[in-house]
Structures are given as C-alpha cells and as structure tokens.
Chains A and B, each alone.
Chain A
C-alpha cells in the first residue's frame, strides 16, 4: 500500500517536468495565511492522510480574501484537524473559472504505467468518459486521447486548450515513466482558462 506524497514535494516534482501547479504553501498560523494572500483570493485546505476526499468533508475553504475571512477559515480548519492528526494546512491561490479536466496515472500489474484523461465533474464521475493509454505515449496517442472523448467539444470550447492538454499529457507521461515510484497520480482538477492552465489539486501516491 502506498503513501500520499507530501503536497509541496509533489508540487516540486511536477514543476521539474514543466507541469504548472498553483502557487501554494503550508501555513502554521492565520497570519502566515494572510501574508500569503497579500490581498488576493485564496483557497485553504486541510491536508491529512485520514481525509482523502476533501471537498466532500468540508475541508476546503474557498474565496478567502479579507483578513477576517482568512483568520476564521484557519481557525475552523485547525479545529477540524484536531480529529485528523497529523495534519497540515495549505493555502493556494484561487483560480479563475474555466474548464475542469482530470489527468491521472495508475500502475497496472501487467502493462505498467497508465495515463488517463477526462473532463471533470459528472463526465468522469457519472459517464466514465475517459481515455487511457500505456506510458510512454506519443504525440499521436495524446491527440487520440482527446479525440476519443465524448466530451471533447466541451474540453476544446477554447481551441487553445487542445495544445495545452496535449502538452500536459506528454509531460505527465514522462513524469510517470521516469518516476516508477509514483504508483498513482491524480491532477484533479486541472483548470483550463484564458489560454493557460492550473493544476489545482495534486495527489501522488508513492509505492
């Protein structure tokens, strides 16, 4: 059974392969969080091995910008964290709205590293509309992963997204291939917006 890679460690690893995750930092006090925000909108998350489905358990606080909002969010999460020790509190920039996608990785006993693409929300959860390939993938494979999705047109509402997603898939494939210890990977969601993207949540499991 694997263990969850530390958020900042995962952040650094992704960065090494040119995958851009949102600016983030651990904080150990409300004032550190306020300093990180510097007047901009932030998200605050409680990270704990005992809480794998954050959004479902109310462990994510969104749209924080004023000092009082940030302080009360911090205090609320810290209180919840008492039951989920050990825990950390992470602050992150809040992204603009956009198209949510999922890029994932898994390890198959027979074929090794797999890479997955899907459109976020119900498209993955309900319709299981995902495409999967064995790593390493080629540029053609990356294009086909996009083309074979039923939700392709939603993903490519902004035509710039095609190049972005293709590039992301190739980078994630490279990361998975070169880091065999990464057993599972979830970049969920990645938000595509304004001709760029931000990986908002990172979940890497080490074997």
Chain B
C-alpha cells in the first residue's frame, strides 16, 4: 500500500531536526523540546529556529527561519503560537523539509477549522507529511528522538521493547507512557497525533503495521478520519501483528434523524465496535485492560487452544481463578496420567492431583519448578496460570526466578497472578522485566489469556483463507 499512506520514517528516524520555536527561556515549549533532544542523546543535527533569535540557543547556532539553515532537514518540529504556524509550515515546504510535527494547539480542537484547513492545503501543496497539530509528537527510543514537551523528570520513560503506542490524545498518551514503564514492558515508538489534519489513523496504523521494530500496537482513538482506508489497512495489519485498540468518546446510540430501529441501534459507537470485532482488533475497554493485553502479547506465544492449568500456593485465589477462566470462555485443563504420576511423587500428600492445583502455603521454588515443568510438557495443557502469593512462607525470590526461567522458555503462554504490596511488587517487577506478564487478579489474567486466544484464532482463520 505504498504511496497511498504516509511513510513516517523521516519523522521517527531523522538525521537532522529543526526546532521552530526553540528558545533560551526554560518555560517555553520549544525550550523543553530542544532540551529533551539533548537529554536523550540524539545523535543527529539539531537546528534551533527562532524569528527573534541571535547567536545560540542551548549552545547550538540558531536561525531566524528554516530557509536559512540551507542543509537537509528530515524533521521540523513547530512549537509556536497558532497564528504563526501556517507561515512556518510554508517555509518548511520551501526549504524542502521532509516531515513536520506541529505541536502547537489552537486549531480545529478549539473550533478554528479554517486555520487548520490552511495547514492541510500547504501540506498538500508540498506533499509534506505533517503530524498534528495539537499533539505531543513522537518518541522513538531506538533512534533517541523525543519531540515531547514534557520535562523528562516528570515522566518515567519505558525501556526499549516491541510495543508501539499511538494516541489521539496527548494527555492519555503521556499518562500511558508513564504507566507502561510501571508495567515493565518495552516501548518501540510513541506517536501522539492530535487533530490528525494530514497524517491520520490509517497512515499511522499502516506505518506501525510494517515497522519491523514494532511487535504489538496499542492505539487510543476518539474517531477515525478515513473509515474505509482505516479498514483497508486494518485488514492487512491485524494479520501481521496484534493491534490493541481503545475508543474514547461513546456516542449515544440513536439520533433524532433515525427513521428505523436499525438506525437507532446501529449508531456510531456500534459501528466502531463492529469494525474492531470484524477486522481482528483486540478491543480494550479501559486503559488498564489495554496495558494488561499489551503485556501478554509482547512476551507470550499465541495459542488457539483453551485448556489452562492453574497452580497456586493459596486455595481461595485458585477458586477465583477457576471462576474467572470459566467466565471468560476458557477451560480448566485436566492432568494427563503421566503428569499425575510425576507430581504425586514430587508433592506432599496434602496436595490434591486436581485443578486448580493447590500446592499449599509452604510451596517453595522446587514445588513451583516441578509443577511448571510438568505442565509445560503435558499435552493436555495449552496455557499456564501461576498464582504466586508472595505473602506465604514458602514464596521468595527463588520462586520468582523459577517462574522467570519457565516463563521465558515455555512454548505455551504463561501468566502470573501476584497481588500484593511492596514485597510482592519487587518480585513482580523482576518477572515482568524478564517478559513474564504479572496480573493483580485472576480476572485480569483470564481476560488477557482470553484476548490472546481470540486473536490467535483470528490469525489462524486468516492464515488458512489467505
């Protein structure tokens, strides 16, 4: 689909960046953006641009206009008041800048569609990929690009990984980035696209869909600009990698213009849900759910089979796990005779050979290790849920290490349930940083597994039909 959708490489992997609105004053957005570039160790050229500047900005030679730079510019970041943006964009076009991010706000989001249309027509004139306006821009941890105007000390930045995140809303975007680092999975790219005046959801989905560094996409949308194109791209991309999507802004079904039952029942929100369901998206209903899904997809293998073995060191949570598996359409695995024989020998007599397998409160890393090993090999088991309550006497760092060993080697998906306070949290971070997803409750873990299986089925269906 080349040609029809914008390539964002120049924006995410620029060799040179002009920052229009760069400033010596620390409170200016342009200052923070430039400071961030310097802080993250960006290795390309930086050209600060400011109409009223003379000399240097943050130690770099400054220019009054991009036209004065007279060197190739892969990306220009525009962070100046709305009324000056159109002229700055025009200059970018003339200077043959290859891509532009407009951070400035004050366009269609405040009702000024005319000003925004002006930007669109300039972008078209120069065939210029333009992100925004009214956005945070992009972050690419590999190429060390960060156009965000959030001071680095205020937000935990995630480690480098395979999840890319696109967000219409800048606020949701920065909050989720902060949370991603807390959930311990790695980020590839972040794209905050704001008003989607030029580059829209279809372009972004297409780009991330074909980006080799992106393994999982998470997407916060409030709407899409080009519905048909979005579907066209989704058909292709959801067959390549999981796309977890959350839609903000639920339009109430039914309107005064509806003449029929159908029109009142099949409104705009229902249309989005239908699209998500039909074209292989994984729909999240909350930001938590979105992150919980991202964790499992980033690190665990796909499976279309639903028999889940549950091991626990606490009976009650095991019962809740059984309930939540059932409620999410999954099945409890039954042990093979072979597995039962091995486990009967390894476990103390109080442990019943049934599911969920309660290994008792004094279960240590050896019991955990044996059980996980046996279930990983049991042909009657398709996925594992390990409930490790770190409040119990037997559970310590050795249990976490054992889970990490299997959780990163097993060919079957493994999820861990570990609710708790600081002591549990330390171990949860260890496990998650190694790629084993940890959930605060069996319900959250079951939902994540169910999403994994549903998506795996979608993929299998489409690999057959081509």
Contact = CB atoms under 8 A, between A and B. Distances in A.
Interface of A: 1-2, 4, 52, 102, 104-106, 108-112, 114, 116, 118, 124, 128, 130, 132-134, 137, 140-141, 144, 184-186, 188, 203, 205
12 contacts: A106-B263, A108-B227, A109-B227, A114-B266, A114-B271, A116-B266, A124-B261, A130-B266, A132-B271, A134-B275, A203-B259, A203-B260
Give the residue among A116, A124, A130 with the most B Cβ atoms within 10 A. A116
Contact of A111 (B257, B258, B275, B277): B275
A184 B278 contact: no
A2 B461 CA distance: 39
Contact of A141 (B224, B271, B278): B278
A111 B274 CA distance: 10
B262 A184 contact: yes
A110 B227 contact: yes
B9 interface: no
Give the residue among B224, B265, B268, B273 with the most A Cβ atoms within 10 A. B265
B228 interface: yes
Contact of B265 (A108, A130, A185): A130
Contact of B260 (A118, A128, A144, A185): A185
Interface string B236-272: 0000000000000000000001111111011010111
A67 B66 CA distance: 89
A184 B261 CA distance: 10
> Closest 4 A-B residue pairs measured CB to CB?
A104-B262, A110-B227, A108-B271, A186-B260
Interface in B76-120: none
A109 B262 CA distance: 15
B224 A106 contact: no
Give the residue among B230, B259, B260, B272 with the most A Cβ atoms within 10 A. B260
Interface in B410-447: none
B223 interface: yes
Contact of B262 (A134, A137, A186): A186
Interface of B: 223-224, 227-228, 230-231, 257-263, 265-266, 268, 270-275, 277-278, 461
A134 B259 contact: no
- Majority SS of interface residues in chain B? helix
B266 A104 contact: yes
Given A104-B263, A203-B260, 20 more contacts: A102-B261, A102-B262, A106-B260, A106-B266, A108-B227, A108-B268, A111-B228, A111-B231, A111-B272, A112-B227, A112-B228, A114-B270, A132-B265, A134-B271, A134-B275, A134-B278, A141-B278, A144-B277, A203-B259, A205-B260
Give the residue among A52, A128, A134, A144 with the most B Cβ atoms within 10 A. A134
Contacts of B278: 133-134, 137, 141
A134 B266 contact: no
Nearest to B225: A110
Contact of A124 (B257, B265, B268, B270): B265
Contacts of B272: 111
A205 B271 contact: no
A105 B260 CA distance: 9
A111 B226 CA distance: 8
B274 A128 contact: no
B271 A184 contact: no
Contact of B227 (A1, A111, A144): A111
A51 B5 CA distance: 48
A128 B275 contact: no
A137 B258 CA distance: 23
A130 B275 CA distance: 15
A106 B274 CA distance: 13
Contacts of A106: 260, 262-263, 266
A57 B461 CA distance: 48
B261 A132 contact: no
A140 to B, nearest CB: 7
Nearest to A186: B260
A1 B461 contact: no
B262 A133 contact: no
Contacts of B461: 140
A102 B273 CA distance: 20
Contacts of B230: 110
Give the residue among B228, B275, B278 with the most A Cβ atoms within 10 A. B278
B231 A205 contact: no
Contacts of B228: 111-112
B462 to A, nearest CB: 10
A6 to B, nearest CB: 15
A201 to B, nearest CB: 11
A116 B265 contact: yes
Contact of A188 (B224, B257, B258, B261): B261
Give the residue among A114, A118, A128 with the most B Cβ atoms within 10 A. A114
A172 B268 CA distance: 20
A140 B461 CA distance: 10
Contacts of B270: 114, 132
A108 B278 CA distance: 15
Contacts of B227: 108-112
Contacts of A114: 266, 270-271, 274
Contacts of A4: 259
Contacts of A203: 259-260
Contacts of B260: 104, 106, 184-186, 188, 203, 205
Contacts of A111: 227-228, 231, 271-272, 274-275
Contact of A118 (B257, B265, B274, B275): B265
A114 B262 CA distance: 9
A134 B261 contact: no
B275 A104 contact: no
A138 B223 CA distance: 25
Nearest to A2: B259
Contacts of B265: 104, 116, 118, 124, 128, 130, 132
Given A110-B223, A111-B231, A140-B461, A105 B271 contact: no
A141 B272 CA distance: 16
Given A112-B228, A184-B262, A185-B262, A134 B274 contact: yes
